[in-house]
């Protein structure tokens, strides 16, 4: 542990290297079931392209929106063994390991018995369960049943929380999601789930309950009312399931826009033509640029549903790391608050009641400690330039 005086922090800051709030990207991978069934090479082309573009696009996170495979636990022809599809999916998604934080969630096609989702998915747990991700520094935890998961990622100087939630989000999954939000107050949060929207808005009945009343799921409207709308830190919800593209903003309890997006290409030729959705976040422009790209044909779709710009006030997501007095900039005024946050959470809360202590977590590891000093100095140096 190295002691730092305020004077030393200032001197080091002036000599620091630039750390800007650069653009970053999130990749949405929807409904790959047809690739796992018949076109595994297209699935591989998607994850290979992501890996090859992590640096160029500043890809911060990849989320799979469910329907990983086509036949769940049945196998083609209902033969009771679907290892081939699951192994193909595993091979493609494993290419992301070590390159970018990522996660995935069950779709209705992924359960061992599509007509009995409450029975779960052993294939999913064996290949994508908790042991696979537990040692990753960005992994945030699982729900007790192992089907809902949390991940953290960093983009544009902020730490984000993503929640992957099972289809129609039954009450037990809803409670777990709320507990994760409560444990990470103020952290900008996105939700990835399989069933949430349809062609003309959010779903109005729980699809999964038609097959299994024991599932106890709720509609997209109910998910919005019970989880999204009351939690202002939730700013984005993404889903698949319905072969369509739709974007809509809705207002939370504070009158702030929540961005809701349906993305699914499974009915296109070749099970989706290798299409994926790119969301490029631009803090300097207060915008998200959505585009749709085929990794198989190496072409963009440019119609209005596939390429568009979303306005987002990034200030609504909270201060960036290093802005410990929450005034919208990183400068000399942040040094004393940073030292205070480092030394006493209680004193910091009293002195800066409208700030969150996590702004001092400059190395983005979820803790405020002496390991944040060098990262704070670097960000302070960039702010002073």
According to DSSP, the β-strands at 189-193 and 234-239 are parallel
Q: Return the bridge partners of 154, or none.
A: 159
Does pLDDT of 40 surpass 60?
yes
Cβ atoms < 10 Å from Cβ of 254: 9
Does pLDDT of 13 surpass 50?
no
**pLDDT reported for residue 63:** 98
Does pLDDT of 345 surpass 80?
yes
**pLDDT reported for residue 241:** 98
Does pLDDT of 17 surpass 80?
no
Domains delineated in the chain: 6-19+320-384 (no CATH), 24-317 (3.60.21.10)
Instruction: With cut-offs at 50, 70 and 90, classify the pLDDT of residue 19.
Output: very low
**pLDDT reported for residue 43:** 98
| Overall average pLDDT of the 254-272 stretch | 98
Q: What is the pTM of this model?
A: 0.92
Q: Give the pLDDT confidence of 142-196 residue by residue, as tens digits.
A: 999 999 999 999 999 999 999 999 999 999 999 999 999 999 999 999 999 999 9
What are 319's two structure tokens?
């201060």
Q: Give the pLDDT confidence of 49-97 residue by residue, as tens digits.
A: 999 999 999 999 999 999 999 999 886 655 678 999 999 999 999 999 9
The least confident of 192-196, 296-300, 365-369 is 365-369
Q: Give the pLDDT confidence of 216-260 residue by residue, as tens digits.
A: 999 999 999 999 999 999 999 999 999 999 999 999 999 999 999
φ, ψ of residue 291 to 5 degrees: the values are -140, 160
Does pLDDT of 16 surpass 50?
no
Percent of the chain topping pLDDT 90: 84
- If DSSP states are collapsed to H, E and C, what string results for the chain? CCCCCHHHHHHHHHCCCCCCCCCEEEEEECCCHHHHHHCHHHHHHHHHHHHHCCCCCCEEEEEECCCCCCCCCCCHHHCCCCHHHHHHHHHHHHCCCCCCCEEECCCHHHCCCCCCHHHCCHHHHHHHCHHHHCCCCCEEEECCCCCCEEEEEEECCEEEEEEEECCCCCHHHHHHHHHHHHHCCCCCEEEEECCCEECCEECCCCHHHHCCHHHCCCCHHHHHHHHHCCCCCEEEEEECCCCCEEEEEEECCCCCEEEEEEECCCCCHHHCCCEEEEEEEEHHHCEEEEEEEECCCCEEECCCCCCEEEECCHHHHCCCCCCCCCCCCCCHHHHHHHHHHHHCHHHHHHHCCCCCHHHHCCCCCCCCCHHHHHHHHHHHHHHHC
Indicate the average pLDDT of the chain. Answer: 92
Distances in whole angstroms, Cα of residue 67 to Cα of each of 16, 106, 121, 339, 366: 46, 6, 12, 47, 31
Q: Which of 314, 265, 293, 39 is nearest to 157 (CA)?
A: 314
**pLDDT reported for residue 381:** 77
């Amino acid at each position: 542990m190295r002691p730092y005086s305020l004077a030393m922090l200032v001197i080091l800051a002036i000599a620091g290297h630039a750390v800007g709030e650069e653009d970053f990207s999130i990749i949405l991978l929807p409904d790959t079931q047809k690739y796992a069934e018949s076109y595994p090479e297209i699935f591989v082309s998607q994850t290979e392209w992501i890996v090859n573009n992590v640096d160029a696009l500043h890809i911060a996170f990849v989320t799979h929106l469910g329907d990983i495979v086509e036949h769940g636990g049945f196998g083609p022809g209902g033969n009771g063994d679907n290892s081939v599809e699951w192994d193909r999916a595993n091979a493609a998604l494993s290419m992301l390991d070590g390159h970018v934080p990522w996660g995935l969630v069950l779709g209705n096609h992924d359960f061992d018995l599509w007509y009995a989702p409450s029975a779960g998915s052993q294939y999913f747990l064996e290949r994508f369960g908790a042991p696979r991700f537990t040692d990753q520094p960005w992994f945030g935890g699982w729900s007790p049943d192992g089907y809902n998961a949390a991940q953290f990622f960093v983009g544009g100087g902020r730490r984000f929380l993503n929640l992957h939630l099972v289809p129609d989000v039954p009450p037990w999954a809803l409670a777990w999601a709320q507990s994760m939000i409560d444990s990470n107050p103020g952290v900008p949060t996105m939700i990835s789930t399989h069933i949430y929207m349809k062609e003309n808005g959010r779903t109005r009945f729980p699809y999964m309950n038609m097959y299994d009343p024991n599932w106890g799921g709720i509609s997209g409207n109910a998910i919005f009312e019970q989880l999204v709308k009351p939690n202002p830190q939730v700013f984005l919800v993404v889903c698949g399931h319905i072969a369509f593209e739709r974007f809509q903003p809705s207002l939370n309890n504070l009158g702030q826009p929540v961005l809701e997006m349906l993305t699914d290409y499974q009915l296109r030729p070749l099970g989706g033509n290798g299409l994926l959705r790119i969301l490029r976040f631009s803090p300097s422009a207060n915008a998200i640029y959505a585009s749709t790209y085929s990794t198989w044909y190496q072409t963009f779709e440019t119609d209005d549903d596939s390429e568009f710009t979303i306005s987002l006030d990034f200030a609504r997501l909270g201060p960036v790391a290093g802005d410990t007095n929450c005034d919208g900039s990183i400068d000399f005024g942040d040094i004393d608050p940073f030292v205070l946050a480092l030394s006493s959470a209680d004193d910091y809360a009293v002195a800066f009641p409208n700030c969150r202590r996590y702004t001092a977590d400059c190395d983005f590891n979820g803790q405020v400690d002496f390991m944040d000093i060098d990262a704070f100095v670097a960000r302070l140096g960039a702010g002073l330039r």
